[in-house]
């Protein structure tokens, strides 16, 4: 069994946050054997940022998937929503891409947070529901498998994975698991009740601002799933499900300031390609991979 031969320190590089798909170390053999489904999904969620819709992108995606022995089954790309399905043996992984700052459509969808009726149950973030609706047929076809199904994503992609879980028929839910990274709040209590909390492992950096929004003071959305909050040392700590877990992890968020930084300091950090080590850097996909794989 291969053990890690490479460490991956916490990254404050803006490139790792804004353009994770440009990385070249997906499923690096130096990371060692994949230690868990959570680790597998953390890399699949990061890999979803590879732009398969660009020239040569699909071949690049297939090359990275071949490392852990997965075959690309389908790519999604409609109205600004992207993702892919890949399989290995009896396991199928569907990974959705998160927000790309260079894509104005992604930013607009993130901002359309008011409640909208969901095709499953309850009311959810309107922008997220519109994003999944764009690829609903492709997703339903890829999710109709006989073996295990893992749904994953980072940021916006995490929200889409959770919404997708709400559409899995009851007879297949026991074979479906959801792993999200930096997931915002997605829907109301009725929606949350439609997806078994135990099937959803929600990983959130202690200072990842995206995992705190939208605020409950604005919309009646609840966190979902068992929280695994990543502390300052890069260690995931398990808490309760839903909002209870979010509240229990409050102590880990102490000192996640940076909101009091002056505009001048933020600009200097931007020029130096260094971002505050909280609020923003905690959201970088590589920082989830390094924590979940135990590589820091």
The answer to whether residue 54 is domain-embedded is yes
Residue 208, beta-bridge partner list: 279
**Lowest-confidence range among 5-14, 55-64, 78-87, 209-218?**
209-218
The answer to whether residue 1 is domain-embedded is no
Per-residue model confidence as pLDDT tens digits over 172-207: 999 999 999 999 999 999 999 999 999 999 999 999
| Average pLDDT value for the chain | 91
SS3 170: helix
pLDDT at 259 over 70: no
Q: How many angstroms separate the Cα of 30 from the Cα of each of 1, 33, 201, 221, 279?
A: 12, 9, 25, 40, 29
pLDDT at 253: 85
The answer to whether residue 3 is domain-embedded is no
Residues 6+ apart with CB under 8 A from 212: 184, 246
Euclidean distance between CA atoms 102 and 125, whole angstroms: 22
The answer to whether residue 200 is domain-embedded is yes
Structure tokens at 4: 């890690």
CATH code at position 73 = 3.40.50.1820
The answer to whether residue 9 is domain-embedded is no
Is-contact 106 80, C-beta < 8 A? yes
**Lowest-confidence range among 34-38, 163-167, 254-258?**
254-258
> 39-68 in b/e burial notation, b at 16+ Cβ within 10 A?
bbbbbbbbbbbbbbeeeeebebbbebbeeb
Residue 154, beta-bridge partner list: 181
Angle of helix 136-143 relative to helix 126-133, nearest 10 degrees, comes to 70
What pTM was computed for the model? 0.93
The answer to whether residue 4 is domain-embedded is no
Per-residue model confidence as pLDDT tens digits over 227-255: 999 998 999 999 999 999 999 999 998 87
The answer to whether residue 202 is domain-embedded is yes
The answer to whether residue 267 is domain-embedded is yes
The domain tally of the chain equals: 1
Structural domain of 284: 14-292
């Amino acid at each position: 069994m291969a053990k890690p031969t490479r460490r991956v320190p916490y990254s404050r590089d803006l490139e790792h946050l804004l353009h994770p798909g440009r990385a070249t170390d997906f499923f690096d053999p130096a990371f060692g054997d994949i230690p868990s489904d959570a680790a597998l999904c953390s890399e699949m969620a990061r890999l979803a940022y590879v732009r398969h819709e660009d020239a040569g992108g699909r071949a690049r995606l297939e090359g990275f998937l071949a490392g852990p022995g997965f075959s690309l089954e389908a790519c999604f790309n409609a109205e600004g929503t992207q993702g892919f399905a890949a399989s290995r043996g009896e396991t199928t992984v569907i990974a959705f891409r998160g927000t790309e700052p260079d894509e104005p459509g992604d930013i607009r969808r993130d901002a359309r947070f008011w409640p909208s009726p969901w095709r499953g149950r309850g009311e959810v973030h309107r922008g997220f529901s519109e994003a999944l609706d764009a690829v609903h047929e492709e997703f339903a076809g890829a999710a109709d498998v006989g073996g295990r199904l893992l749904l994953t994503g980072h940021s916006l992609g995490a929200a889409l994975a959770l919404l997708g879980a709400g559409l899995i028929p009851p007879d297949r839910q026991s074979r479906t698991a959801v792993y999200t990274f930096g997931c915002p709040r997605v829907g109301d209590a009725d929606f949350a009740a439609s997806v078994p909390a135990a099937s959803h492992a929600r990983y959130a950096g202690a200072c990842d601002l995206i995992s705190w929004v939208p605020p409950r003071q604005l919309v009646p959305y609840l966190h979902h799933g068992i929280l695994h909050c990543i502390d300052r040392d890069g260690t995931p700590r398990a808490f309760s499900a839903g909002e209870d877990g979010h509240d229990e992890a409050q102590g880990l968020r102490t000192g996640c300031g940076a909101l009091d930084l002056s505009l001048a300091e933020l600009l200097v950090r931007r020029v130096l390609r260094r971002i505050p080590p909280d609020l923003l850097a905690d959201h970088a996909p590589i920082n989830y991979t390094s924590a979940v794989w135990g590589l820091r």
